[in-house]
Each structure stands twice: as C-alpha cells, then as structure tokens.
Structure 1
Amino acid sequence: MKTETLQEFTAEELEAALAQKKEAERIGREQKREAYEALKKDTIADLAPVANDLSLQLMRFRDKAFSQLGTLYELLQDYSKRHQDGKGNFTIEDDEFKIQFKRQGKGTFDERSEQAEKHIIDFLNTKYQGDLDTKDLIMSLLERKKGDLDINMVQKLYSMEDRFDDENWREGIKLLKESYSFKHSKDYVSFFKKGRNNQWEGINLNFSYS
C-alpha cells in the first residue's frame, strides 16, 4: 500500500489487515508442512520396505554365493592340489558370465619350521655334499625374507616330497607342513557379464565376507 492509501485506514483496520496477512502466511506454512510430512511418509513407505527386502535378498544371495564358491574352492584344493596354503584366487566362466573368487589372509610357519630346515640340511649334507647345484636349489627354496619362509617357494619343496627316499628329508617336509597355518581374513566375489566386442564388463554386485 502506498503511504497516502494507508492514511485512509484506521489503526484498527490496519491491525486487522496485518493480522489477516499473518494468518494467510501461517496457513501457507502449515500447508507446506503438511505437504512435506505427507511426502515424507509416502517416501518412507515406498522406499524403506523395498530397501529392506532387497537387503535381505542380497544377504541370502551373498551367503549362497560364498557357500557354493567355498565348496568349489575346497574341491579345487582337493583334486588339483592347488591352494594348499589356504589362500589363492580362481575364476569360473561360461560363454556369458564370469565369477572371480579371491581368498585373502596371512600364512605363517611356526617354530617347527626351524627343525624342518635342520632335517633338510642334514639330508643335503649326507646325500648331496658334493652336489652344490642340488644343495643350492633346495636351500634357495628355504630362503627367509624378514625372517619368514615363502609359502610359494616351500610348495616347490612339497612337490619334491616323494623324490628322495631319506628319513631326514621326509621328516623335514612333514614338519614344514605341520608348522604352517593360514589366518583367513576375507573372501571376495566379483561378477562379470560379456558385453560388446566380447569384453568382460563388471556387474555392480561385489561382495566381501569375513
């Protein structure tokens, strides 16, 4: 209102107009609040139950995936003699899909590995004292890095277990196997689908399991 127009109203009329304006603003705010509350309620009702159902489905699928892949991993260990150290990766695939399984953790040899080394050294000194090539080869597989044996190198010794008919050798290999333990930390599963140009494309559904 212009100043000259306002002067035409009494104080009471101005107060009434101001009160009416405030009431209209209050009603407008209330309507917006109610609209917000209604939309919030509908949004929760629409999304949260679906999210909960999807979460349960994913949990069940995750458990099924790790159960089946874990069984497959154990069978692979058994018949292929791979991953005897308890860790490792494998991939399975067909013409359309690929699944990668990764097992992580840390393997360690305990104090029995030191006794195993002594038996193997006694074997070498007794049977191969003059054969430096054989001695160097076997001792290189027992080389320690930061005080720890390398399971990948030691497994090469395992593959030679039946090659030598010697008590110290057999006892050394036996103690090495007994001294090793693997502390499992996590498994990972990733899924892929073959896309254009026969390239593998990741499916956005990766799991880890402790």
Structure 2
Amino acid sequence: MIRSALGFALSLPLLITAAIPAQADTRLRVENPNFNTVAVEQDGTSYRYLPVGSRDLPGWSITHGDVDVFGRGFAKAPTGTQALSLNGTTSGTVIQSLETTPGSTVTVRWLQSPDTWSGCPSNNSQVYSAGVTEGPNGPTTELFNPGRPTTAGHWTRAAFTFKARDYLTTLEFASQNGGGGCGPLITNVVAHENP
C-alpha cells in the first residue's frame, strides 16, 4: 500500500505537467502555394508568361515586371508541383497578404531552385529577395541565391522569420536578377506563426 501511494505521488507531477498546454505553431493560410492554380500544359517543357497586373495567378499579385509559371515537368520540383520563375522577360515581384497575429513570430519556408532552362548562361546570378513589406521596424527582407542554372533542377529549402506588426502582413518575393529571363524558381510556400 505504501509503495502504491508513493508511485501515485511520484506520477502526480507528470500528470500536472502533461495537462498544461504547450504553445503550438499555427499554420497560416497561403493561397496557391505551389502555383498549381494556373493552367500550364504538363508536357515537360511548357511555362506560362504572366505580366505585371495579371489576374491569372490566384492568391498572388504581380506588382513589378513579369514572371513565368513552370509546368511540373519543366520545374522538376521534388514535390511534383509547378513552380514560379521570378523572371519572365525581366525581373518580377509577387506579393500575397497573410493573416497574422500582431506580435507573433512568423516563419515562412519554401523550396528554391535556379532556372532549369538549358539556355540560361552558366554565370547567370539568380539572386532574389524574400520578406515582408511591413514590420515593427519597417520592411524586412533577406537575399537568397539558389545557385547557378542547371537543367536537372537543384532544389533546396529556404526560410526567413519575422515579427508580425499587423493582422495582415504582405509577403513578397522579388527577383534581383536584372538580366531578363533565367530567374530563380520558388514553390511549396508555407507559413507558421508562434504567438
């Protein structure tokens, strides 16, 4: 009986600890995260050109230049999805508003790749920025470089973290590659916040 009471007393702190809820990350809604909601032929080589102001990329607004949406075969993404090239014929910028909690820490993750088109020069720089247009201290952006062009598709993970200032936060991806086409590719954009 003493041994049984002692066992219960020792397990009590574990029960109390388990009852306290941990702060969990909340997944934020990113519309069209894989750029699949635009009609692109799936023949392995096709893409679709979209100019500034186009309404053909649900969830995203093209605010500068132009972009290309690569079909699954052309993108060669490990997720088997389409991808967005941040360069159409020139450097492009896309934005999307996320519903955030002021003061929360938000982490955005995605996959990145250099352009998979064989016509891209091997010395082509494919630098781009990712960030938010508003924050406690103004815009927050970071530069990313997925590497040199490749026909095989070289996908890697990328991420950045920021503090949300408002209930709506504008996520932005912008090519810094001024050399016409052959821009960086992104896909599988996800966001989580931790209050």
- TM-score, normalized by length of structure 1? 0.28
Q: Quick check: which has more Rg, 1 or 2? A: 1
Bigger fraction of residues in strand: 2
Higher relative contact order (CA 8 A, sep 6+): 2
- TM-score, normalized by length of structure 2? 0.30
Bigger fraction of residues in helix: 1
